[in-house]
Amino acid sequence: MIRLKQWALRVLGFLFSEWLAHRFARLLSWRLVNHLRGDATSTLLLLLLGAMDTAFCLLESYRVNISGLKAVYTFRTDDGAVSRTVRFSDGDMIIEHEQDPHADAIVDFKSATALRSFLFSKNQDVLDSLLRDEVHVHGNLNYVYRFAFLARDLERRILQVA
């Protein structure tokens, strides 16, 4: 079902102009937009990954960012309430529920606010994240830098279209 949705979005992305595809991506990511502008809740990670997935399907200019990327990320909250593994391979993105202890980077975060501060330039307060010791990275930091770029590029695209 999920693959079908991705396929359908890719077809739309192919048919749409870049401008229209951006508008459509933003429409589908409205809940993430609200989270970036307002209070972050525990669903932020899920919304972010979902919006990324949509944008990769719809926007070829965004998809080139993961061309050639082979990487596995696990994001999890300290209390285990939220946990997702993301696999990038061959320009594709797959989201899984299970944690992968061998992920290239495992990001532990205490709250959605901490994750937002960590990943996004808007509302970024790295110092506060550090002060509260709220985000820890295990593994390769370079992979996290790349993921943060993907997140901020997405943010830029869906907020700019507003």
Partner 1 sequence: MRQITPDISSALDRVQLSERVLKLRAAYFRAIPEVCDERPGLITEYHQQHRLFQQDRITPRDKARAYRHVLERREPIVWHDAAYARNGERFPIDAQSLFIGSTTRRFKGVLLYPEMMALALWPELYSLPSRKQNPYYIDERTRDALNARIFPAWMDHSLLELARKRLVAPGEAKPDFELLGRLVFFLASKPNCVSHTIPDFSQPVHRGLRTMIAEANQHSKTAATPEQAEFYLAMVEVLEGIVSYSHHLADCAAQMVFREHDPIKRAELLTLAELHRRVPERPARTFREGLTTVWLCWSALHLENANVGLSLGRLDQLLYPLYRADMDAGRLSLSEAVELLCCLWLKIGDHVPSVPESGEQLFGGTGSNQAITIGGVDRLGRDAVNDLTYVMLRATELMLLRDPNLNARYFPGINSPEYLARLCLANVRSRATPALHNDAAVISALVSKGDTLEDARDYGVVGCVEPCSAGRHYGHTGALLLNLPSVLELTLFNGCHRHTGLDRLITEATGDPRQFATMEDFRLAFAEQLRQLAERAVGVNNAMGKTYQEFYPSPLLSALFEGPMQSGRDVSQGGAQGNSSGVAIIGLADVADSLTAIERVVFAEPRVDFGELLNALEADFAGHDALLARIENATLTPSFGNENEVAEGNAHWLVALLDRTFSAHVNPRGGTYRVGYWTMTNHAGFGMLLKSMPNGRKARQSFASGITPRSGKTPELLRTLNSVAALPSTMIANGMALNIKFMPEGSDSASQQQMLEFFRAAVEGYFTPQGADAGGMEIQFNVTGSDDLQRALLDPKELETLLVRVSGYTAYFKDLTPEMQQEIITRTQYRLSSGQSAPITSVRVRDPITSEAAE
Residue ranges binding partner 1 (CB under 8 A): 64-65, 67-69, 119, 121, 124, 126-127, 130-131, 133, 136-138, 140-143, 145-146, 148-149, 151-153, 156
The nearer residue to partner 1, 34 or 121, going by C-beta atoms, is 121
The nearer residue to partner 1, 71 or 82, going by C-beta atoms, is 71
Tokens in use for 101?
A: 């202890």
The nearer residue to partner 1, 65 or 113, going by C-beta atoms, is 65
Query: Least distance from C-beta 10 to partner 1, angstroms?
Result: 21
Query: Least distance from C-beta 18 to partner 1, angstroms?
Result: 15
Other CB atoms within a 10 A radius of the CB of residue 4 amount to 8
User: Is the CB of residue 84 less than 8 Å from the CB of residue 74?
Assistant: yes
The nearer residue to partner 1, 5 or 37, going by C-beta atoms, is 37
Q: What is the DSSP letter of 131?
A: H
Query: Least distance from C-beta 127 to partner 1, angstroms?
Result: 5
Query: Least distance from C-beta 140 to partner 1, angstroms?
Result: 6
Which residue type does 140 have?
N
User: Is the CB of residue 90 less than 8 Å from the CB of residue 75?
Assistant: no
Whole-number Å distance between alpha carbons of 125 and 13: 34
